[in-house]
Amino acid sequence: MTLLDETREVQSKPPFVTHFDRLNLFKFFFYLTDTDERNGAMRASPGSNRVIRDHRLKAVEELHLKSMDNIVHGDVPTMPIIGPAGTLFIFDTDMCHSAGTVDNGRSRRTMRGHCVTLDGLEAYAASEREMEGH
């Protein structure tokens, strides 16, 4: 279970800034509480995965996976994923996404999981081998 309490300061790192995951996954989010923009609804940019996938693959070839800059710089329009407790959504982590900020006195509870493709596992393993060689 993941719990987000109120966001007190401006955040500059994932999950609160728009980003993509370094390792391509399918993520599963299950809202355990009614969730809207006041308590940190996840934000997403549908369709952005088509552009990000190429960028991530190129970056994996040039950099170690863990040192890749996965923060999306510039203005990317996102929309909140709002839903009652029990809402399940699944997304490709090449899509630009972020956690929403949580207002004072509120919280967001979720369960999440993920799965990775064979290509993703191979990229991660190659990155780990490369890191061991340095």
Residue type (1 letter), 3: L
Report the predicted TM-score, pTM, of the whole model to 2 decimal places. 0.79
- Asked whether the predicted pLDDT for residue 5 surpasses 70, the reply is no
Number of other CB atoms surrounding residue 38 within 10 Å? 16
How far is residue 127's CA from residue 134's CA, in Å, rounded to a whole number? 11
Cβ(127)–Cβ(65) under 8 Å? yes
Rounded distance between C-alpha atoms, residue 20 and residue 122, angstroms: 19
pLDDT of residue 88: 97
Does the pLDDT of residue 9 top 70, yes or no? no
Average pLDDT, the chain: 84
- 112 close to 15: Cβ distance less than 8 angstroms: no
Rounded Cα–Cα distance for residues 80 and 31 (Å): 13
Eight-class DSSP state of 51 = H
Name residue, tokens 């799965």.
115
Instruction: Give the percent of the chain with pLDDT over 70.
Output: 87
Q: Is 105 helix (H, G, I), strand (E, B) or coil?
A: coil
CA atoms within 13 A on the CB side of 113: 3
pLDDT tens-digit series, residues 18-60: 999 888 889 999 999 999 999 999 999 999 998 888 888 887 7
